A and B are shown apart, each in its own frame.
Chain A
Amino acid sequence: EVQVVESGGGLVQPGRSLRLSCTASGFTFGDYGMSWVRQAPGKGLEWVGFIRSKAYGGTTEYAASVKGRFTISRDDSKSIAYLQMNSLKIEDTAVYYCTRKGRDGYNLVLRHFDLWGRGTLVTVSS
């Protein structure tokens, strides 16, 4: 089955760190860019960041709200994407979703998220 599953959420104090994992299965993980998206309680979806596939340099981009605090990485040998969250703030409390970016093809440019996990809850509180 083609899926991504998030893990690593939990309760953490402000200022501390937490690392989320996104484990992929059923597809060639290394061929795809991956993103993290979050939803704070009672709020809408917020794009957090993106990591390109190695074919496109494996580089990363971040939303302004997390830039400098969050880092996305990937281990293609394990089919896992990570979200390292440092200096956590109360406003980082959210369900964090892992998403797969649609894969570009010949004469095909895709800029959407075609596969989602169920999310993992991160609660930042003292």
Chain B
Amino acid sequence: QTVVTQEPSFSVSPGGTVTLTCGLSSGSVSTSYYPSWYQLTPGQAPRTLIYSTNTRSSGVPDRFSGSILGNKAALTITGAQADDESDYYCVLYMGSGIWVFGGGTKLTVL
């Protein structure tokens, strides 16, 4: 069974930079998995941030960026703001119309 791994939690200071990662329990994440990232804030619809590894969704500020770092997909937030405090999820496309989400990262800005 494929497991997509994310850091359970992360902390960043306001104005700081943080990189969240998205890996595989077995193997490396590549662009072929079309990694995408979502922000989930209680009471709101999930928000699409990044798709196809590094493409920002419409309206997403450029302080959010995506990449492949080593064998993982990565979401970098540069100049973190208080309202970036949220849960962040990556999802990988496994092929044949199947996706697997990571466990999510709870980001604290303090």
A: residues with CB less than 8 A from B are: 33, 35, 37, 39, 44-47, 50, 52, 59-61, 63-64, 97, 99, 102, 109-119
Q: B80-110 CB contact bits vs A (8 Å, 1 = yes)?
A: 0000000101010100111111111000000
Q: B54-82 CB contact bits vs A (8 Å, 1 = yes)?
A: 00010000000000000000000000000
Interface of B is mostly: strand
Interchain CB contact under 8 A, B45 and A97: yes
Closest chain A residue to B34 by CB distance? A111
Most buried by B among A33, A59, A97, A102: A102
In this assembly, does B44 line the interface, its C-beta being within 8 Å of a C-beta of chain A?
yes
Interface size class of B (residues with CB under 8 A): 20 to 34
Assembly CA distance A84 to B70 (angstroms): 41
Report B64 CB to chain A, min CB distance, Å: 14
Interchain CB contact under 8 A, B38 and A117: no
Assembly CA distance A37 to B52 (angstroms): 19
B51 contacts across to A, CB distance below 8 A: 102, 110-112, 114
A50 contacts across to B, CB distance below 8 A: 97-99
Assembly CA distance A99 to B52 (angstroms): 17
